[in-house]
């Protein structure tokens, strides 16, 4: 009896983890690896800064370009154009992804099969090729696509196919018992999808969706290849200014800081939204108790 109880108490918990908790030796080894890795990264960073200083990249003349109004306006316009293309493409890509995912989850093969091939095709085609096709290829067909829409359409088709797979995988990750219980209540498939599966899937898909939106934002930098006046193209033009000794490195540092800050803001928004959705789920009002039919005045 005592042995059985002891075995039951020492039984491995059902919530298993991927890795065991490291012991003292493993903790010392991980600490040593972390210290050595940090030292190597800091040494490389110090060497890069040293080389920049030796080649005059931190000279005051190269950084004077940011003191003038016209370069500031140029950088701001490029950043706004980047946000414009990313915002339009994000909305269209999400809508396209939802449509393709719904078609792939359909029971009708005349919907699911074409959507499968559309998703696989546009996921395989390079994004640059799509932008080139819309900007340089459509004039031969008698159409004229502006640089903005060449970038937006390319981003929409590529990221829309990726979103379709994310949505499909998110819906498939919901336990099957959820949909079976909904069908048992008499709900139709559309009602099950909209009321049961998608609300649960969105919470699971949210980190992946935000990560793909960050990728979409950074991919707008490819727009300079089709002459779109986004941030990278504007920085490239400013870097050819001879009166500031061709300030390429300062402009790259500032442009990189802008991209990193924007992506960090997106990640922060995703974290805030995920926490808010979690609070809304846990703070739902309790269900009112069901009155027992046999507890009324006329009960025997």
Q: State the Cα–Cα distance between residues 118 and 211, nearest whole angstrom.
A: 22
For the cut 50, the answer to whether the pLDDT of residue 9 exceeds it is: no
CA separation for the pair 27, 31 (Å, rounded):
6
CB 250 within 8 A of CB 62: yes
Rounded Cα distance between 123 and 104, Å, is 15
pLDDT > 80? residue 1: no
CA-based nearest residue to 219, from 230, 207, 208, 210: 230
Say if residue 284's pLDDT is above 80: no
Mapping DSSP onto H, E and C, the string for the chain reads: CHHHHHHHHCCCCCCCCCCCCCCHHHHHHHHHHHHHHHHHHHHHHHHHHHHHHHCCCCCHHHHHHHHCHHHHHHHHHHHHHHHHHHHHHHHHHHHHHHHHHHHHCCCCHHHHHHHHHHHHHHHHCCHHHHHHHHHHHHHHHCCCCCHHHHHHHHHHHHHHHHHHHHHHHHHHHCCHHHHHHHHHCCCCHHHHHHHHHHHHHHHHHHHHHHHHHHHHHHHHHHHHHHCCCCHHHHHHHHCCCHHHCCCHHHHHHHHHHHHHHHHHHHHHHHHHHHHHHHHHHHCCCCCCCCCCHHHCCCCC
Least confident among 41-45, 78-82, 247-251, 267-271: 267-271
Q: What percent of the chain has pLDDT over 70?
A: 86
| pLDDT tens readout for residues 180-194 | 787 788 878 777 777
Res. 40 pLDDT band, cuts 50 70 90: very high
What's the pLDDT score for residue 278? Answer: 66
**pLDDT per position as a tens digit, 123-179:** 999 999 999 999 998 888 888 899 999 999 999 999 999 999 888 888 877 777 777
Tokens 């929409």 correspond to: 156
Residue 5 pLDDT greater than 60, yes or no: no
90: closest CA among 25, 162, 196?
162
Query: For residue 138, what are the CA distances in angstroms to 53, 88, 223, 242?
Result: 47, 21, 16, 37
Mean pLDDT of the 199-226 span: 86
Band (pLDDT 50/70/90 cuts) for residue 107 is: confident
Asked if residues 167 and 104 have their Cβ atoms less than 8 Å apart, the reply is no
Instruction: State yes or no: pLDDT of 288 exceeds 60.
Output: no
- pLDDT of amino acid 24: 83
Are 208 and 166 contacting, i.e. CB atoms less than 8 angstroms apart?
A: yes
What integer pLDDT is reported at residue 294 of this predicted model?
44
Q: CA torsion 198→200→201→202, rounded to 10°? A: 80
Say if CB 210 and CB 216 are below 8 A apart: no
The CA distance from 232 to 283, in Å, is 45
How many Cα atoms are found within 13 Å in the side-chain-facing hemisphere of 85? 30
Confidence band, pLDDT 50/70/90 cuts, at residue 13: very low
Residues 147, 1: Cα–Cα separation, whole Å = 78
Cβ proximity of 96 and 158 under 8 Å: no
pLDDT of residue 2: 47
Domains of the chain: 62-279 (1.10.3720.10)
């Amino acid at each position: 009896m005592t042995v059985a109880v002891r075995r039951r108490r020492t039984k491995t918990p059902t919530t298993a983890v991927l890795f065991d908790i490291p012991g003292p030796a493993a903790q010392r080894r991980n600490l040593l690896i972390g210290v050595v890795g940090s030292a190597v990264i800091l040494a490389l960073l110090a060497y890069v800064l040293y080389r920049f200083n030796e080649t005059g990249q931190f000279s005051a003349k190269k950084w004077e370009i940011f003191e003038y109004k016209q370069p500031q306006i140029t950088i701001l316009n490029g950043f706004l154009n980047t946000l414009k293309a990313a915002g339009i493409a994000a909305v269209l890509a999400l809508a396209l992804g939802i449509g393709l995912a719904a078609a792939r989850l359909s029971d009708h093969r005349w919907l699911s099969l074409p959507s499968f091939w559309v998703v696989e095709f546009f996921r395989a085609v390079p994004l640059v090729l799509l932008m080139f096709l819309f900007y340089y290829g459509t004039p031969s067909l008698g159409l004229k696509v502006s640089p903005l829409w060449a970038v937006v359409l390319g981003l929409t088709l590529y990221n829309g196919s990726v979103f379709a797979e994310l949505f499909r995988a998110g819906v498939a990750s919901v336990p099957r018992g959820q949909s079976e219980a909904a069908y048992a209540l008499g709900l139709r498939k559309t009602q099950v999808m909209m009321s049961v599966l998608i609300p649960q899937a969105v919470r699971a898909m949210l980190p992946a969706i935000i990560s793909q939106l960050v990728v979409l934002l950074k991919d707008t930098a490819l727009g300079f290849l089709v002459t779109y006046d986004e941030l990278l193209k504007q920085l490239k033009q400013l870097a050819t200014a001879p009166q500031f000794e061709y300030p390429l490195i300062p402009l790259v540092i500032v442009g990189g800081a802008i991209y990193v800050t924007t992506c960090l803001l997106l990640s922060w928004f995703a974290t805030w939204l995920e926490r808010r959705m979690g609070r809304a789920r846990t703070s739902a009002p309790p269900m009112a108790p069901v009155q027992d039919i046999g507890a009324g005045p006329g009960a025997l």
